[in-house]
Amino acid sequence: MTSPSDFELSRRKLLAGTAASVALTAAPSIVNAQAPTIAEQNAAAGSATLKVSFTVNGAARDLTLDTRTTLLDALREHLHLTGTKKGCDHGQCGACTVIIGGRRINSCLTLAVMHEGDSITTIEGLGTPEKMHPMQAAFVKHDGYQCGYCTPGQICSAVAVLDEIKAGIPSHVSADLNTPVQLTSAELRERMSGNICRCGAYSNIAEAISEVAGRPA
């Protein structure tokens, strides 16, 4: 068993190790240049960088990124918006869900450079602790989480789900494709199936969303 302090120790060691290896890879280009740009360093390491500009939570952002950077990593590691979480990093769990132009997507399965000019909303943009979005408030009220890791993705997804229903987009459980979507519990649950909660807080999550949707769970 590792005690919490062992964990802290190994975590610090790990961080130190990472810093050292970054210094090592950067070394060759530093030797013969005074102040290499990020682009030059990356070119030496065999990678490509590009500029990209988009809006995050209403603020214009310009970044120069390795082309491999996912939108998720750009948000977390470059813009330090760590509300959006990295779960599986393969589009299977939904923890990385953000809203782009009103539509929810998995930010782990898209490249940042593919979002030139886009308008991105993360959990930080939906509301603040002082001024919560109604969906955030409902999750708190109904205890729609345990550990909280999947929660930002659940909330972003839930906000977009209600818009999808309003827009008349059908789902797998819609009984009739040619009549307006009914706001049932089965509809909400099916539409939220791309957000996994390993604590299993599903029934409380469903209650929170139902309340905002204006229907009994």
Partner 1 sequence: MKSFTYERAQSPAAAAAAAARHPDAKFIAGGTNLLDLMKLEIETPAHLIDVNGLALDKIEPTQEGGLRIGALVRNTDLAADARVRRDYAVLSRALLAGASGQLRNKATTAGNLLQRTRCPYFYDTNQPCNKRKPGSGCAAIGGFSRQHAIVGASDACIATHPSDMAVAMRALDAAVETVRPNGATRTIPIAEFHRLPGNTPHVETALSPGELITAVTLPKPTGGVQIYRKVRDRASYAFALVSVAAIVQRDGTGHVALGGVAHKPWRLESADAQLPRGAKAVTAELLSGAKPTRENAFKLPLVERTLGAVLTEAKG
Query: Which positions lie near partner 1, rule CB under 8 A?
Result: 46-48, 50, 66-68, 70, 89-91, 94, 97, 103-106, 109-111, 113-114, 116, 157, 160-161, 164, 167-172, 174, 177-178, 189-195
Interaction between residue 92 and ligand FAD (CB under 6 A) = yes
- In the complex, the smallest distance separating the C-beta of residue 126 from partner 1, rounded to whole angstroms, is 16
| Residues paired with 119 in a beta bridge | 55
Q: How far apart are CA 212 and CA 183, in angstroms?
A: 12
CB burial class (10 A; 0-12, 13-18, 19+) of residue 75? buried
Q: Which does 16 bind (CB under 5 to 8 A by kind): ligand FAD, partner 1, none?
A: none
- In the complex, the smallest distance separating the C-beta of residue 91 from ligand FAD, rounded to whole angstroms, is 4
- In the complex, the smallest distance separating the C-beta of residue 149 from partner 1, rounded to whole angstroms, is 17
Q: Which tokens sit at 151?
A: 């929660």
Interaction between residue 100 and ligand FAD (CB under 6 A) = no
- In this structure, the chain runs to a length of 217
Interaction between residue 111 and ligand FAD (CB under 6 A) = no
Is the CB of 113 or the CB of 213 nearer to ligand FAD?
A: 113
Measured N-to-C along each axis, helices 134-142 and 151-166 cross at an angle, to the nearest 10 degrees, of 120
Interaction between residue 193 and ligand FAD (CB under 6 A) = no
Query: 64 in helix, strand or coil?
Result: strand
Is the CB of 113 or the CB of 138 nearer to partner 1?
A: 113
Q: Are strands 49-56 and 119-121 parallel, antiparallel or unpaired?
A: parallel
| Residues paired with 120 in a beta bridge | 56, 100
Is the CB of 92 or the CB of 179 nearer to ligand FAD?
A: 92
How far apart are the two ends of the chain, measured CA to CA in Å?
42
Q: Which does 136 bind (CB under 5 to 8 A by kind): ligand FAD, partner 1, none?
A: none
Q: Which of 63, 67, 91, 171 is in the footprint of ligand FAD by CB under 6 A?
A: 91
Among all residues, whose Cβ is closest to ligand FAD?
A: 91
Q: How far apart are CA 163 and CA 148, in angstroms?
A: 24
Order of strands, edge to edge, in the sheet holding 59-66? 59-66, 49-56, 119-121, 97-100, 103-106
Interaction between residue 36 and ligand FAD (CB under 6 A) = no
Residues making contact with ligand FAD (CB under 6 A) = 91-92
